Structure 1
Amino acid sequence: MPEWIRKLLFWGFIAFLIYFMAFRPDGAANIFKAIGAGLVAMFQGLGDFLTSLMT
């Protein structure tokens, strides 16, 4: 993929995020909460796995 297309897509995505957060803050907050919860669950599972390896 040409570099200019990548830059265009990247900045378009950033612009969409800003627009989404400005005009739909509740929806944006819910999405970020879901992403955060998923990351926490992933790291919790990794921690549980490592703990079970040590015992």
Structure 2
Amino acid sequence: MPVFVKKLLLWGFVAFLIYFMAFRPDGAAQMFKGIGAALMAIAQGLGDFLTSLMT
């Protein structure tokens, strides 16, 4: 993928996030809470897997 397209997509994503947080702060907060919960579940699963390997 050309560098220009990557930069364009990145700036578009950043602009969307700013717009989303400015005009729908409750929705943005719920989205980030959901992403955080998913990342924590992944980390917990990885930790459980590594613990199982060690025992």
SS at match of 1:31: helix
SS at match of 1:15: helix
- 2:32 corresponds to which residue? 32
1:1-55 maps to which residues of 2 (within 5 A)? 1-55=1-55
How many angstroms apart in 1 are the aligned matches of 2:19 and 2:29? Answer: 13
Q: Percent same amino acid at aligned positions? A: 76
Number of residues of Structure 1 aligned to a counterpart in Structure 2: 55
Q: Displacement, 1:9?
A: 1.7
Report the TM-score, using the length of structure 2 for normalisation.
0.88
Over the residues paired in the alignment, what is the CA RMSD in angstroms?
1.0
Q: Displacement, 1:24?
A: 0.3
Report the TM-score, using the length of structure 1 for normalisation.
0.88
Unaligned runs of 5+ in 2: none
How many angstroms apart in 2 are the aligned matches of 1:6 and 1:54? Answer: 41
Which is further off, 8-17 or 25-34? 8-17
